[in-house]
Amino acid sequence: MKTPSAFYKPLAIGAPDPYRELPVSLERMIHFVPPHIEKMRSKVPDLIKNVDVVLGNLEDAIPADAKTDARRGFIQMAQDNDFGTTGLWTRVNCLNSPWFLDDLLEIVPAVGEKLDVVMLPKVEGAWDIHYLDQLLAQLEARAGLSKPIMIHAILETAEGVKNVEEIAAASPRMHGMSLGPADLAASRGMKTTRVGGGHPDYAVLSDADGTGGRTASQQDLWHYTVGKMVDACLSYGLKPFYGPFGDFSDAAACESQFRNAFLMGCLGAWSLHPTQIQIAKKVFSPDPGEVAFARKILEAMPDGTGAVMIDGKMQDDATWKQAKVIVDLAKLVAS
């Protein structure tokens, strides 16, 4: 279902399918700011120089009695700063909360022109996206905005995962999706208290060696959902993202989780702590050795067809396409 809302004109998007051509921008880390804290807002000018996207968080982690301050703080930080090419997003409260409507009613008229994306939590089906789409269309029209505000869904309920394809297809306004492993774990009844990452008990045992010894290899708890999300997103021209990694003390585990997501097709992840900005920058920018090899493939097959051997490895039309993904990303990072 790709019915564009009344306001949603192709002007900001482009041909050939105007609704599916998203702006090509680097979004390696979506950096979360709690906007009710003045000290955090004061760091935004420096953040703008250092991250791809600044997100004002209004939902979970913002105490109920600070919701109004967070909303006002977000409007303030949007008004006070020039974001240039850095993305400005907000994560609003979920649809059935007492705060969602005021989040939209206050933010769009005040700073809608600067706002790139609304991240919607706990999306369960296409109906959630349809509602936000129409509300945004009304508010945009009333405010006379010149460009549409995009929607980014968090995939963080069992029902949402079941309906991931219809969510992806729900509106031309869809920007992408992030995995929300904390809420998803709760929704699924998974037995963990972690925010993303692995679990030592989710492992596969090797066969016993001659002396009866075995080794355990930890597996990626999120593999299935990330794969499902990436396929749904790419089928509809959306961008897939890994979400949060909650153990700030374990940079190696964060890097490993982000890297799995990157290898599986994700374009970025959330950074909840300043140390995670560099991790995301490193992981979601292609490795220079990989880029050099990918360039060799493109050079060896100028028209993208045929078969050649490079360093003992067979290349053909399909690896040419793989190489192009990596080289295109490298060009975007360098631009």
Q: Contact region for ligand GLV (CB under 6 A) — 35-43, 137-145, 179-187, 295-303?
A: 179-187
Binders of ligand GLV among 143-162, rule CB under 6 A? 154, 156
Kindly state whether residue 243 participates in binding ligand GLV, applying the rule CB under 6 A.
Answer: yes
Task: Annotate each residue in 150-169 with x if it binds Mg ion (CB under 5 A) or - if it does not, as one string.
Answer: ------x-------------
* Cα 171 to Cα 162: distance, rounded to the nearest angstrom: 18
Whether 28 has a binding-site annotation, put simply, is: no
Rounded distance, CA 171 to CA 217, Å? Answer: 41
Does 56 participate in binding ligand GLV (rule CB under 6 A)?
no
The residues, ordered by sequence, that sit 6+ positions from 129 with a Cβ below 8 Å of its Cβ are 120, 123, 151, 153, 167, 170, 171, 173, 174
180 near ligand GLV (CB under 6 A):
yes
Q: Does 183 participate in binding Mg ion (rule CB under 5 A)?
A: yes
Q: Do residues 77 and 35 make contact, with C-beta atoms less than 8 angstroms apart? A: yes
**Nearer Cβ to Mg ion, position 128 or 183?**
183
Which residue has the closest beta carbon to Mg ion?
Answer: 183
Q: Choose from Mg ion, ligand GLV, none: what does 92 bind? Cβ within 5-8 Å by kind.
A: none
Closest contact distance (angstroms) between CB of 183 and ligand GLV is: 3
Residue 124 partner contact from Mg ion, ligand GLV, none using kind-dependent CB cut-offs of 5 to 8 Å: none
Q: Is 198 in the site for Mg ion (CB under 5 A)?
A: no
Question: What residues contact 223, with CB distance under 8 A and at least 6 apart?
Answer: 260, 264
Q: Considering the complex, what minimum distance in angstroms separates the CB of residue 62 from ligand GLV?
A: 12
22 binds, among ligand GLV, Mg ion, none (CB under 5 to 8 A by kind): none
The DSSP annotation for 129-151 comes to HHHHHHHHHHHHHHHT-SSPPEE
What end-to-end distance do the CA atoms of the chain give, in Å? 35
Residue 34 sits in the site that holds ligand GLV (CB under 6 A)? no
Say whether residue 180 binds Mg ion (CB under 5 A): yes
Q: How far is 104 from 120, CA to CA, in rounded Å?
A: 11
Question: Any contact of residue 244 with ligand GLV (CB under 6 A)?
Answer: yes
Peptide bond into 16 cis (omega under 30): yes
Q: What is the DSSP code string of 51-111?
A: -SEEEEE-STTS-GGGHHHHHHHHHHHHHH---TTSEEEEEPPPTTSSSHHHHHHHHHHHH
Which residue, 148 or 244, is less far from ligand GLV as judged by CB? 244
- The answer to whether the annotation marks 214 as part of a ligand binding site is no
Residue 27 binds which of Mg ion, ligand GLV, none (CB < 5-8 A, kind-dependent): none
- Rounded Cα distance between 33 and 41, Å, is 7
**Which one among 87, 181, 197, 286 touches ligand GLV, defined by CB under 6 A?**
181
182 binding ligand GLV? (CB under 6 A): yes
Instruction: Give 194's contacts (C-beta < 8 A, 6+ positions apart).
Output: 181, 182, 185, 246, 247
- For the packed helices 317-334 and 288-300, what is the interaxial angle rounded to 10 degrees? 130
User: Is residue 247 a known part of a binding site?
Assistant: no
Helix (H) or strand (E) segment spanning residue 31? strand 29-33
The verdict on 128 binding ligand GLV (CB under 6 A) reads no
Tell me which residues touch Mg ion (CB under 5 A): 156, 180, 183
Sites of contact with ligand GLV (CB under 6 A): 60, 154, 156, 180-183, 195, 243-244
Numbered residues of the known binding site for substrate: 91, 156
